[in-house]
Structures are given as structure tokens and as C-alpha cells.
Amino acid sequence: MNYTLKYWREAATLILTAGCQHVSSVSKTIILGSSKGHPKKTTFDYEVLFLQRSEKSGFMPSAFVFPGGLVEPSDFSNDWVKVFARHAQKPNFGLGIVKQPCDTRPPMFITDRRKFGSLVPGEVAFRICAIRETFEESGILLVVPENSNIEDNQKFMGAYDQDYEAVAKWREEVQNDPMRFIEMCKELRCVPNIWALHEWGNWLTPVFSKNSRARRYDTAFFICCLPRKPITTDDQKEVTSFKWWTPQEAIQECQKKAWIPPPQFYDLSRLCNFTHLEELQRFALHRALEGIDRWMPVIVHAKDGMVHTLPGDELYPDDPDASGQDQKIYSTDRRIHELVQDGKHLHRLLHVEGVVQLFITIQPKYKHLNPTFLQSDNDIEPKSHL
């Protein structure tokens, strides 16, 4: 672990998708590319796991989020080298080397963990964290036999579904002590399936205001595709309920009453590019080693509200205050609709009547995709679309 961080803590989350038994068709208006939206029938053959946080949670209470949580010292334990003995001598335990130049790689991935005494690379430890947290919060265990090969593990793999009672017991032990996750893998002769988790994004909690004491996290986002939905159970602690929604259903719920935080909403909208799970799996696998940027939204105060800008937006500062110690306030005397209609380089989120709206005209990097928009009646019409 990185014990030198002062302003935030490291975390990992998992966008877990799974093929659904029933396939639902929903008629929606979609804005894609530079063309206007036209009603068309969109069918998704997969669903995404959302967990609802407890209303007593100190961070994003009652929100629907992807499974995940804080990195623990156990995720970087050198005991994992023995568990992954078959792969420990390969680059990043067989994950491969990301093509992205080191000077643009997110800090959480480029940090040399050996100076903190760990032989486990960040790329591995953050995946272990995402798998462990998913197990703790939902009961879904993403492991494979210790003697399995990497090529098979990258393909569609089901969750561990043997000896349910024993796994439930281990889940409780891991919830109480994350180090027990290592012991569980040793006893079950399995390893966390880190190869099925592909890099998707990296979000840093923004600085909300002067002297804000809000918790902040530098979070790695991974994606994993399962052929079918595994047995899912909430933990009645941090998680009070769960939902398996298609991307479209989740956005519809967000437009009604469910609160899905902006990073999850953004990546959910990215998934709307894929109606078929196999297409999503191929895309995630093929761009797995391309790289990602760390995004920290910067809030710009307009005359009539706030704009959440992202890197590449014309309002995004050249040197954003990541620490929050400079107490910078970014503002403009223009109104929100003017900023949208007159803008040329847009990469921003707005809240319009309680609904998140995305406005993007920039091209994505590292062979990623921009979100596909589901248009609603209260959209602000931007000058240009993707």
C-alpha cells in the first residue's frame, strides 16, 4: 500500500456484467455520433450489477454503485506471490505490460510498490481488491483453479459456485479480516481471476469546496464479463440491496429516483455502445493494454449553476488543484446553456432537473469509446454532439 498519500485513499471497483436469461427490448431515443437521435428499439443481452449503499454510509449514502472499496494492506501482501506461484515471474503476473507511456500513466499504477515493501504490482493488487470487495459485498467469488492457464481465464468465466456453505463461511471471515482472503485461496486451491478484469477507467474524487472534509478516493475501474448471472446476496452492512439492470434500465432508473453517481453514470453510458455481451467482452479484452487516464472532475461555477468538467473540456484548468490545498475556485459569469451551446470542446457533466446529462465533443484516448447518450425530454441541446 501507498502510506504516503495525504489527500485521498486508493480504491478499486468492478463493473460486473453478466448474460441475462431474458432479453428485454426497450424503445428509446439515442443520440449517437453526430446525428440527431431517432427512436429505435435497442436490445441488451446482458445486465450490470449495482449495489445500493446503506443510508448510514459516510460516503455516497443510498447510492447505487458498482461493487468495490478501499485497498487493504492484504491486497499487497507478499503472500500473494506464493498463491500466484505459477504466474508470479511473468510481467504483472501474466497481465502483460500496458502500452501507455509511463509519463501519462495514472499515479496509482505507475507507483513502484517495492519501495513500500510489496512484490505485488499495482495492476495485480487493485484487481485483487476489486475481486475481494465484490465477494464481501455481493457473495460473488471470481476465482479460478490455481493450475488454470491465462488464455482460458481471459475468456468468459463463471463465478465460483461450489460448496455454497463453505464459501458463505469464508465470506464472513474475509469481511472481518481481509487477510483471510489469502487463506481462503490457499485452502480452496484457487487464485483470484485477475486476468478476467480489464482496465476501464480511473476516477479521483473532486474537490467540492473550500475547506471541504469530504472523503476522497483514487479509484481504479475494471470490467468483467460473465456468461450468466451468479447467485448474488447483499451483506446487510455496507450494502442493503442489489439490482441487475441492463445499461438502459439503469439509466431509466436514474432518471426516475435512483441515484447513480457521475463516474458510474458516465461508464454506464459507455456500455450503451454494446448491446451484446460478446461484443463488450471482445472490446474490453482487445483494449486492455492500451491504457487509461486519471480523471478528476473540476467544478466550474456558472452564473446559474455548476458544471462538472473533465480533462479535454475547454473549461478544464491546465493545472487542476488535485490536493485541494490551494482552495481554488473556478468560475465564469456565463449561464450554463450558453456554455453548452457556444462550446466547441466539451467534456462535462450537468445536473438538469436532478438528472445527469453528459456533453462530449472530444475524441477519447487509448482506443476507448465515448458514452452513447439516451436523450430525455429535459435535455439541454448542445451545439454539436459526438
Domain architecture of the chain: domains with CATH: 9-286 (3.90.79.10), 296-374 (no CATH)
Phi, psi of 172 (to 5 degrees): -65, -40
Q: What cell was used for 54? A: 446503506
**What's the pTM?**
0.90
As a 3-state breakdown, the chain gives helix, strand, coil percent values, each rounded to 5, of 30, 25, 45
Q: Mark residue 272 as left, alpha or beta (left: phi above 0; alpha: psi -120 to 50; beta: remaining).
A: alpha
- pLDDT tens-digit profile, the chain (386 residues): 787 888 999 999 999 999 986 544 443 334 333 333 434 456 899 999 999 987 777 667 788 999 999 999 999 999 999 999 999 999 999 999 999 999 999 999 999 999 999 999 999 999 999 999 999 999 999 999 998 888 777 776 778 777 888 999 999 999 999 999 999 999 999 999 999 999 999 999 998 766 667 789 999 999 999 999 999 998 878 888 999 999 999 998 988 888 899 999 999 999 999 999 999 999 999 999 999 999 999 999 998 888 999 999 999 999 998 988 887 888 899 998 899 999 999 999 987 766 788 999 999 999 999 998 654 444 555 433 33
Q: What cell was used for 240? A: 442493503
Q: Mark residue 60 as left, alpha or beta (left: phi above 0; alpha: psi -120 to 50; beta: remaining).
A: left
d(CA 226, CA 47) in angstroms, rounded, equals 10
